[in-house]
Amino acid sequence: MIRAAHADDAADAATIAAAVRGRAMTAEAVTRAALERIRARDAGINAFTAVLAEQALADARAVDALIAAGRDPGPLAGVPFAVKDLFDIAGRTTLAGSKILAGRAPARRDATAVARLKAAGAVLVGTLNMDEFAYGFTTENEHYGATRNPRDPERIAGGSSGGSAAAVSAGMVPLTLGSDTNGSIRVPAALCGIFGLKPTYGRLSRAGAFPFAGSFDHVGPFARSVRDLAAACDAMQGHDPLDPVCAKGPAEPALGRLQEGARGLRIAVAGGYFRQSALPEALSAVAAVAAALKATREVELPQAHRARAAAFVITAAEGANLHLADLKARPQDFDSATRDRFLAGALIPAAWYLQAQRFRRWYRDRVRELFQEVDLILAPTTPCPATRIGQETMKIGEAEMPVRPNLGLFTQPISFIGLPVLSVPVQRPGALPLGVQLIAAPYREDVVLRAGAALEQAGVCAAPVARPSHSEKASDPH
């Protein structure tokens, strides 16, 4: 039994934690198996930027020692996890996908999210690739290479948390952390065919996560089951005085509510903007989820195109301001994919930025009104499946549009006002997966996770491990 469990890369975090807590296997053995999978599989994927084998094995042995002493090792005992390369890890320099930060001092403490997962018994095994400074949707990093999509290595994993999605999709680890400012958890989760949770803005502490655009920065988990996302989110919840926007209210665990399913939820599909600029298959994925959840009505998020524009302007201004000193002193050291956008963002007039922030307030109030009538809104995560590595433009209908800024068309108007979103995977035989956003009112992670669990139960959404020998080559839609 122990041997079989080692080999099982399809085991989710809940299964592993139950086996470790029940002494069916040791955390050390689980960690060794994960390290072996990373060694065997990551060369073709490039999800990891560092593997912390020695520390991981030491941490795993500490979990085993707790169990041997009869103490509670935590709900995620022995679960191997990895984090986007922008989370602080004590003793290591946080790079955020750049080479500019390489000269900085090592972090003195773990990021709050990392520390809380470790406190729950999870074992950190490495750091994961990303777009430089999280400014992108493709994880084609000039310094550290492109991360490949485990379901078709010719294609992007999505970004900016591309390594976080690919590592889970390829079955290297069951749980990872990423960040989402405009879609950077949801886009790669969708393109790699797994589950990704962007919680409410402020729900999880961002302390020790390298910032991008503070108005929209979130952190959140990736996994292959909804219960793993709920368990991870529950473990990371709670106020943190180190993050000024972290929610002050009590933690609201969601794991125990999953069995309620979608019962009693008022569910609608987002119309208007969210039906334009999408390939038919992206809308079909939404329709499949809507049918399973018996959603028949449609709602319109007012002025969603302006919300996306305002998110774009605020992101460029805040991101550029953060990096202004380096843009002046050493522009040559930026990834060429981010440099021009940061430089342009640095020149944004105050009037644009402030008007965009005021519009955000207006839009938030209108969408709050919508949530008086519905509990859950469905929308595509991306307009299309994963594009090819190096592909600059994509064709949606008659329009040819650049890939990098437009993969976030449908995610930006949602993170703009901090709503909780679960991106659920819709697998398509013979074709690449697509994602559907389940969107709820602020602080209602329970609603998106309950609906996600119902879709899993119904067999509409699933995140099987992408097998190297069974990688599905999609017919090219572009």
Partner 1 sequence: MPDPSPSPAPSQVAGFVEHASRAIGLPIRAEDLPGVLANTARLHALARLVMDFPLTDEVETAGVFEP
- The yes or no reply on residue 347 touching partner 1 (CB under 8 A) is yes
Active-site residue flag, 225: no
- The yes or no reply on residue 244 touching partner 1 (CB under 8 A) is yes
Cα–Cα distance measured from residue 66 to residue 231, given in angstroms and rounded to the nearest whole number: 20
At its nearest, how many Å lie between partner 1 and the CB of residue 368? Answer: 9
Question: Which is nearer to partner 1, 224 or 308 (by Cβ)?
Answer: 308
- The yes or no reply on residue 18 touching partner 1 (CB under 8 A) is no
The answer to whether the CB of 451 falls within 8 A of the CB of 257 is: no
Binding piece for partner 1, criterion CB under 8 A, among 77-85, 111-119, 293-301, 342-350: 342-350
Query: Which residues between 359 and 378 bind partner 1 (CB under 8 A)?
Result: 359-362, 364
- The yes or no reply on residue 340 touching partner 1 (CB under 8 A) is yes
Question: Which is nearer to partner 1, 12 or 446 (by Cβ)?
Answer: 446
φ and ψ of 213, to 5 deg: -130, 100
Which helix or strand (DSSP H or E) is residue 47 part of? none
Which helix or strand (DSSP H or E) is residue 358 part of? helix 350-370
Binding piece for partner 1, criterion CB under 8 A, among 15-23, 250-258, 303-311, 373-381: 303-311
Active-site residue flag, 277: no
Q: Give the residue from 282, 298, 276, 281 showing the smallest Cα distance to 381.
A: 282
Which helix or strand (DSSP H or E) is residue 128 part of? strand 123-128
Strand partners, 180: 218
Binding piece for partner 1, criterion CB under 8 A, among 83-91, 115-123, 269-277, 329-337: 329-337
- The yes or no reply on residue 277 touching partner 1 (CB under 8 A) is no
Q: What is the largest CA-CA distance in the chain?
A: 65
- The yes or no reply on residue 404 touching partner 1 (CB under 8 A) is no
- The yes or no reply on residue 306 touching partner 1 (CB under 8 A) is yes
Query: Which residues between 199 and 218 bind partner 1 (CB under 8 A)?
Result: 200-202, 215
C-alpha to C-alpha distances, 307 to 200, 250, 359, 416, 437, nearest whole angstrom: 17, 30, 8, 7, 17
Catalytic residue from among 98, 118, 160, 198: 160
Cα–Cα distance measured from residue 403 to residue 393, given in angstroms and rounded to the nearest whole number: 5
At its nearest, how many Å lie between partner 1 and the CB of residue 316? Answer: 6
What are the structure tokens assigned to 28, written together? 């050390």
Q: Give the residue from 466, 411, 391 showing the smallest Cα distance to 183.
A: 411
Catalytic residue from among 161, 169, 179, 184: 184
Cα–Cα distance measured from residue 298 to residue 278, given in angstroms and rounded to the nearest whole number: 17
Cα–Cα distance measured from residue 439 to residue 437, given in angstroms and rounded to the nearest whole number: 6
- The yes or no reply on residue 239 touching partner 1 (CB under 8 A) is no
Strand 218-223 versus strand 175-180 pairing type? antiparallel
Active-site residue flag, 160: yes
Q: Applying CB under 8 A, which of residues 105, 108, 351, 475 lies at the interface with partner 1?
A: 351
Catalytic sites, residue numbers: 84, 160, 184
Per CB under 8 A, residues contacting partner 1 are 200-202, 215, 244-245, 303, 305-306, 309-310, 312-313, 316, 324, 327-328, 331-332, 336, 339-341, 343-349, 351-352, 354-362, 364, 405, 417-419, 442-443
